[in-house]
Amino acid sequence: MEETMNTLSYKDLFNYINSDYNNEEVIKWEGFEITVKKLLPLEAVDAFVNTVVNAVFQDGEYDPMYLEYSILLSTMFAYTDIRPPEDDDVDYSNYYCQLFYGTDLCDTILEVVNADQYNSMLDIIDEKINYRIESDIDKISRQINELSDFVKEFGNQFSDNLPAVQALLTSLENGEISIDKVLDAFANKLRDSQFGDETNVNAGD
């Protein structure tokens, strides 16, 4: 006799998850009771990842010094009922460092956290950081190409400036000059020169 299998519906699945799966666990740490989530919802995962990625880019530059710190900080606030302080004018970074590196709080929290989801988030963070770095490199390459074309056009119009143009290109290749500043300076110079020529023509008529 063949065994009849019941079809599992979404409703049955969700009811099973809601009724039999406890996503929170209360831990005791140094005399404190802390509620820890095992899994984060998708929205919280997105916030966790973006918070860490944004934290390691200070003024547009990648700074790995903030990577582990921001991961531990996000872990504490995203997975537990510990709330961040409300007085934003106070710098708590030193206290957090003592908490993260001087105690086993985060290790205790991670004993409860679902390892598969957590490690997946760390992989996503790594991928997003690498993507942003590579995108910045591509952007700089495009800027260099655009600037080279601009400089060539400038040099064709003002042949007396060719030695300076060559020196500029060398400095750009060596990373000694900011591309954005050079673009602005050359644009202003070219605009002033064009306006100056037009003024002289009008004055000589």
Q: Can you tell me the mean pLDDT for 141-160?
A: 59
pLDDT of residue 59: 79
Using CA atoms, how far apart are residues 92 and 69, in angstroms rounded to an integer?
12
Secondary structure of residue 56 in the 3-state scheme:
coil
Taking alpha carbons only, the member of 86, 106, 87, 108 closest to residue 96 is 106
pLDDT in tens, 20-49: 678 999 999 999 999 999 999 999 999 999
pLDDT above 60 for 203: no
Q: How many helices (H) and strands (E) does the chain have?
A: 8, 4
Model pTM?
0.62
